Amino acid sequence: MKLAILGAGAVGRSVAELAGEYGHRVTALADSSGAAVDADGLDVDATLARKDETGAVGDESVEAALDTEYDALVEATPTTLDDAQPGFGHVEAALARDRHVVLANKGPVAERYDEVRALEADSEGRVLFEATVAGAIPTLSTVRSLGPERVNAVRGVLNGTANFVLSRMAAEGLDYEHVLAEAQDLGVAEADPSFDVEGTDAALKCVILANVLYDGGYTLDDAEVAGIRSIPGSALELAAEDGRTVRLIGEVADGAVRVGPRLVPEHGTLAVSGTTNIVQLETDHAGRLNISGAGAGGPETASAVLADVGLLEPLE
């Protein structure tokens, strides 16, 4: 397959680096400052080396990347809210050309799911987005194989940054600000961590799950969201005295989407530590399934993108 990759952050970069190993060719790689395009296939190493040296992957425009030859557009630009642009426009452009789209960007399927599905229905291309929910963990493919109508509830720890902060606070008896600074030093938390610690990121993943389980209709506005910023160390100590701990849990059940700090047993399944994510599915016939693993990270998330690519049929 020929891949055009939009976004050269950790995920886009890793998809480009791993594409060859999965038997694919990269015909375009673009970021916000420009694009490298070659319909016969880019030299990925040279392109990334150029980005490291000059800050730009190439001199061509993002439009040129969208117009070049590819079977699947990999959309890995940063997630944006509300109109989900420019990601949504990229999806629209690829589907209009009857190309496939594989999303790592959560915006289009969290904020404009119904529109994306309508565009997909009019296109020869398909839209897949495994990487948008819990990174490397095969969440959506598991839901697909069970059948969304046989999944009654999904809950889990879906944000590694918030989980790192809570598990460190509990383990070391430290307060929020201290642990956050540590997480920023380690590169686990962004300079502006609000997207993670206010629960927005976990909520977007739950909204995407709700769209898949209930066939659309959900945006971030439909989620009840609380973050972890106001949790003092004393709350974690009180929880620990009772054999419990606090985790930021996202839940999709009975048509509702909720994200917030919840009490869970200290050694329970959902009390994963550090940046590990876990997804728990309640199913009709298979009981309760737990899948845990890396919810973020370049190569980890790229593995989900490339799993999607592997499901697609080449287009004429």
- How far does CA 106 lie from the centroid of its chain? 6
d(Cα 1, Cα 23) in Å, to the nearest integer? Answer: 7
Question: Burial letters for 25-47: b for 16+ Cβ neighbours within 10 Å, e otherwise?
Answer: bbbbbbbeebbbbbeeebebeeb
What element of type H or E holds 28? Answer: strand 25-31
Site for another protein contains 150 (CB under 8 A): no
Q: Compute how many other C-beta atoms are within 10 angstroms of the C-beta atom of residue 274.
A: 11
Q: Could you say which residues in the range 275-294 bind another protein, by CB under 8 A?
A: 280, 282, 288
Burial category of 174 from C-beta neighbours within 10 Å (exposed 0-12, middle 13-18, buried 19 and up): middle
Q: Which of 140, 249, 252, 304 binds another protein (CB under 8 A)?
A: 249
Pull the structure tokens for residue 138: 């095969």
Burial 131-161 (b: 16+ CB within 10 A, else e): bbbbbbbbbbebbeebeeeebeebbbbbbbb
By CB under 8 A, residue 238 contacts another protein: yes
Interface with another protein by CB under 8 A: which range of 73-81, 200-208, 241-249, 306-314? 241-249
Near another protein by CB under 8 A: residue from 261, 272, 296, 302: 261
Cβ-based nearer residue to another protein, 37 or 246: 246
Active site residue 205: yes
Closer CB to another protein, residue 98 or residue 237?
Answer: 237
> Least distance in Å: CB of 145 to another protein?
21
Any contact of residue 226 with another protein (CB under 8 A)? yes
User: Which of 15, 239, 306, 309 contacts another protein by CB under 8 A?
Assistant: 239
Q: Using CB under 8 A as the criterion, which residues of the chain lie in contact with another protein when the complex forms? A: 153, 155, 226, 230-235, 237-239, 241-244, 246, 249, 251, 253, 260-265, 267-270, 280, 282, 288
What residues are annotated to the active site? Answer: 205
